[in-house]
Chain A
Amino acid sequence: MNRKGCIYLILISGVVTASCRKPYEPPVVAVNNNYLVVEGVINAGSDSTFIKLSRTVKISDKVAIKPESGAVLTIEGDQNTSYPLTETGNGNYASPGLNLGNTHKYRLRIKTVNNEQYLSDYVEVLNSPPIDSVNYDVKGTLTTPGLNVYVNTHDPNNKVLYYRWDYQETWVIQSYYSSYFKSNGDTVLGRDLINDNITDCWQSDTSSTILLGSTAKLSQDILSNYTIISIPSTSEKLGNKYSILVRQYALTSDAYNFYVNLKKNTEQLGSIFDAQPSELTGNIHCVTNPSEPVIGYISVGATSSQRIFATNRQLPTWRTDKPFYAGCHLAFEWPTFPCCYYNFGGENQVDEYINYNKGGHSNPLIPIDALSVPGHPPLGYTASTRNCVDCTVRGTNKRPAFWR
Chain B
Amino acid sequence: MKKIYFLSLCIIAFFKLASAQDTEKKLISVDFHQAKIEQFASDLESKTGYHFYYDPAQFDSLKVTLQATDRTLDAILYMTFDKTVYHFAIIEQKIFLTRGREMRPGLTAGFFSPPSSAAPQPTTIVDYAEEKVVKVAEATTENKLYEIGLRTSNLKGTANLAGYIRNAKTGEGIIGASIYNPDTKTGIATDQFGYYSLTLPKGRQTLTIKGLGMKDTRRKIILYSDGKLNIEMQEQVTSLKEVKISAEKVANVRSVEMGVNKLDIKSIKQIPTAFGEADVLRVVLTLPGVQSVGEATTGFNVRGGSADQNLILLNDATIYNPSHFFGFFSAFNPDIVKNIELYKSTIPEKYGGRLSSVLDVTDREGNKKKFTGTAGIGLLTSRLNVEGPIIKDKTSFIFGARTTYSDWLLSLLPEAYKHSSASFYDANLDISHQIDEKNNIYLTTYWSQDKFRLNSDTAYGYSNRNANIKWKHNFNNKLYSVLMTGIDDYQYNVSSTANPVNAYKLNFAVKQYDLKADFNYYLNPKNTINFGLSGINYHLNPGDNEPNDSKSLVTPDQVPMEQALESALYLGDKYDVTPQLSISAGIRYSLYAYLGPQTVDHYAPNLPKESVNVVDSTTYGNNKVINTYGGPEVRLSARYTIGDNTSIKASYNTLRQYIHLLSNTTAISPTDTYKLSDPNIKPQFGKQASLGLYHNNQANTIEMSVEGYYKWISNYLDYKSGATLILNHHIEQDVLETRGKAYGIEFLIKKTAGKLNGWVSYTYSRTFLRQDDPNAGELINGGAYYPANYDKPHDVNFNGNYRFSHRFSVSLDVTYSTGRPITLPIAKYEYAGSERVFYSDRNAYRIPDYFRTDFSMNIEGNHKVHQLTHNSWTIGVYNLTGRANAYSTFFTEQGGIINGYKLSIFARPIPFINYNIRF
Contacts and interface: CB of A to CB of B under 8 A. Distances in A.
A274 to B, nearest CB: 6
B823 A276 contact: yes
Contact of B836 (A22, A265, A276): A265
B665 interface: yes
Interface stretch (A32-40, A114-122, A307-315, A336-344): A32-40
A1 interface: yes
A54 B501 CA distance: 40
Contacts of B833: 166, 206-209
Interface string B821-836: 0011111111111111
Interface in B868-893: 884, 886-887, 889-893
Given A266-B836, A272-B669, A281 B721 contact: yes
A323 to B, nearest CB: 14
Interface string A67-105: 000000000000000000000000000000000000000
Interface stretch (A10-18, A189-197, A238-246, A388-396): A10-18
A20 interface: yes
B326 A142 contact: no
A128 to B, nearest CB: 16
Interface stretch (A214-222, A365-373, A374-382): A214-222
B413 A261 contact: no
Contact of B838 (A7, A61, A293): A293
B837 A33 contact: no
A1 B409 CA distance: 10
Contacts of B414: 5, 9
B73 interface: no
Contacts of A404: none
A33 B838 contact: yes
A257 interface: yes
Given A12-B409, A31-B826, A218-B554, A142 B457 contact: yes
A157 to B, nearest CB: 18
A113 interface: no
B206 interface: no
A31 B380 CA distance: 48
Given A22-B902, A23-B900, A257-B722, A262 B669 contact: no
B828 A64 contact: yes
Contacts of A15: 417, 420, 454-455
B555 interface: yes
A47 interface: no
Interface string A257-283: 101111011110111111111111100
A328 interface: no
B457 A35 contact: no
Contact of A5 (B413, B834, B842): B413
Contact of B901 (A1, A22, A224): A22
Interface in B888-917: 889-893, 895-896, 898-908, 910
A274 B901 CA distance: 14
Contacts of B455: 13, 15, 142-143
Interface string B792-834: 0000000000000000000000000000000111111111111
Nearest to B669: A273
Contact of A7 (B421, B836, B903, B910): B910
Contacts of A348: none
Interface string B266-291: 00000000000000000000000000
B47 interface: no
Given A24-B889, A59-B825, A273-B667, A296 B831 contact: yes
A31 B826 CA distance: 8
Nearest to A64: B835
B60 interface: no
A225 B499 contact: yes
B839 interface: yes
Contacts, number: 241
A26 interface: yes
Interface string B750-780: 0000000000000000000000000000000
Interface string B658-680: 00000011110101000000000
B831 A5 contact: no
Nearest to B545: A217
A297 to B, nearest CB: 10
Contact of B827 (A4, A59, A217, A265): A59
B900 to A, nearest CB: 4
A24 B296 contact: no
A280 B823 CA distance: 13
B419 interface: yes
A56 interface: yes
A333 interface: no
A57 interface: yes
A265 B454 CA distance: 21
B183 interface: no
B784 interface: no
Given A54-B829, A295-B829, A22 B839 contact: no
A278 B838 CA distance: 10
A176 B77 CA distance: 120
A270 B840 contact: no
A37 B842 CA distance: 21
Nearest to B420: A13
Nearest to A7: B910
A276 B835 contact: no
Which of B499, B665, B833 counts the most A-chain CB atoms under 10 A from its CB? B833
Given A166-B832, A208-B895, A58 B827 contact: yes
B575 interface: no
A188 B291 CA distance: 75
A279 B825 CA distance: 11
A12 B406 contact: yes
B553 interface: yes
B412 interface: yes
Contacts of B421: 12
B722 A24 contact: no
Given A20-B903, A224-B501, A265-B837, A57 B667 contact: no
Contacts of B719: 278
Nearest to A211: B832
Nearest to B907: A20
Contacts of B417: 9, 12-13, 15
Which of A31, A143, A222 counts the most B-chain CB atoms under 10 A from its CB? A143
B688 to A, nearest CB: 27
Interface string B46-60: 000000000000000
A147 to B, nearest CB: 17
Contacts of B78: none
A215 to B, nearest CB: 9
B554 A217 contact: yes
Given A20-B903, A22-B902, A273 B671 contact: yes
B884 A22 contact: yes
B722 A260 contact: yes
A394 to B, nearest CB: 15
A289 interface: no
B12 to A, nearest CB: 77
Contacts of B837: 59, 265-266
Given A56-B828, A266-B893, A293-B838, 11 more contacts: A11-B406, A13-B417, A21-B903, A59-B891, A142-B457, A206-B833, A224-B553, A270-B892, A278-B722, A280-B721, A295-B829
30 contacts: A3-B908, A8-B406, A8-B413, A10-B906, A12-B409, A13-B454, A16-B904, A19-B907, A24-B886, A24-B889, A24-B900, A26-B845, A34-B827, A37-B829, A39-B831, A56-B838, A206-B833, A217-B555, A217-B727, A222-B553, A257-B722, A259-B832, A261-B722, A266-B898, A267-B893, A269-B890, A273-B667, A274-B890, A278-B722, A296-B831
Interface of A: 1, 3-16, 19-27, 29, 31-35, 37, 39, 54-59, 61, 64-65, 142-143, 166, 206-210, 217-220, 222, 224-225, 257, 259-262, 264-267, 269-281, 293, 295-296
A-B CB proximity, top 8 nearest: A278-B721, A56-B827, A24-B902, A269-B890, A208-B834, A273-B669, A261-B722, A64-B835
